[in-house]
Amino acid sequence: MKQYKYNELAYAEQIYKNGFQTNSLMVELRLLALYYKDILGLKPKQRKIELYKFCKKYIPDFNEAKYYSLLNSVLRTVTKKNQKLITIEKVNVYQDELNYILGLDLPYNFKKVMFAFLIQIKLNRIANKIRYGKENNNISFRGGNAKYNNIKNMANIPITIKINDDIIYFLAKEKLVTIMYNGLIKLDYINNCKEVGNIVIEVKNYEDIGWYLDWLTNQPKMVLCEECNRPFRKKTNKQTYCSDECFNNHRKKYKAKKERERRKRLGVDK
C-alpha cells in the first residue's frame, strides 16, 4: 500500500488490528509474523499459533492443509536475522547533491528521474543498514519494466516519456549511467553526488519524489502541505493541504487546541 511504503511497522500494525489490507497474502503475513516476533516478542511456536488464528479469522473457509506451505514458508523466512520491519522516516537531500543534478545540461524531466534514482539508492542503503547493520555503497539498479516504471512514477514525469528508450539510453551516451545486462544499470553519476553542505529538504513521501525537486526549483503550483510538510501540486489557489486526511488532522488539532484554551479559561485544567 502506497501510504506504507518504507513504513512496515505502521503497515504491520494495521494488519494486526484490522486484518488483511490487500490480496498480497504472502507479503502481509510476513509483516504480521515479523510484528509477532519483533514487537510482541513471541517465540516461534506461539508465532505459528497466532498466525493460524489470524488466518482462520480473516480468510473465508480457511483450510490448514491448503495454506500449510504458505504459512510454513512465512514462518521459516522470519527466523532469519536479516528479516526485520523496515521503517524509514525520511531521506535527507544535501545542497551538493541538488547542485550537481540541477547543474547538468539536461532536460528537466531527465533530472527528475536522476533525482528519483538518487533517493531510491539512499533508501536501499538505509534499508540495508537496518537489515545487516552495515553500509552498502552499491550504486546499481536492477529491474524489469515494472521497477523502471515505478521509478518513472516516483519521478512524476509525463506518461508519454519512455524511461528506458528516452532517458536511460541518453544518460548512458552522456556517461552518467552504464547499461549492464538484464535490466541492470550502474548509476555512475551518484558518485558525484556528495552529502555535503546543508540539508535542503527531507524526503518523506517516496511515491512522489519528483514533487520535491519541483518544489525546490519553484515549479508552478508546487507548495508544501501545511499539515505534513510534504510538497504537492495545488489544484486551486486557496488549497493548503495535500489531502482530505491532512485537512481533517489539522481540524482535529485546531479543535483540541481551542478546547484546551477554553478549559484553561474556565479553570477546569490546572
User: Given pLDDT bands bounded at 50, 70 and 90, which one contains residue 270?
Assistant: low
Task: Give domain limits for the chain.
Answer: 2-77, 91-219, 224-265
Report the mean per-residue pLDDT for the chain.
Answer: 92
Which pLDDT band holds residue 269 (cuts at 50, 70, 90)?
A: low
What is the pLDDT at residue 152? 95
Radius of gyration of the chain from its Cα atoms, rounded to whole angstroms: 22
**pLDDT tens sequence across 54-112:** 999 999 989 999 999 999 999 999 999 999 999 999 999 999 999 999 999 999 999 99
C-alpha cell read off for 68: 500449510
Give the C-alpha distances (Å, rounded to integers) separating 50 from 32, 70, 108, 113: 10, 15, 51, 43
**How does residue 245 score in pLDDT terms, banded at 50, 70 and 90?**
confident
Whole-prediction pTM value? 0.86
Rounded-to-integer distance, Cα 270 and Cα 262, Å: 12
pLDDT at position 172 over 70: yes
> In sequence order, which ranges of the chain are alpha helices (DSSP H)?
8-18, 25-34, 44-58, 64-77, 95-103, 108-132, 145-155, 169-173, 209-216, 244-265
d(C-alpha 140, C-alpha 189), whole Å: 11
Q: Which pLDDT tens digit goes with each residue over 99-126?
A: 999 999 999 999 999 999 999 999 999 9
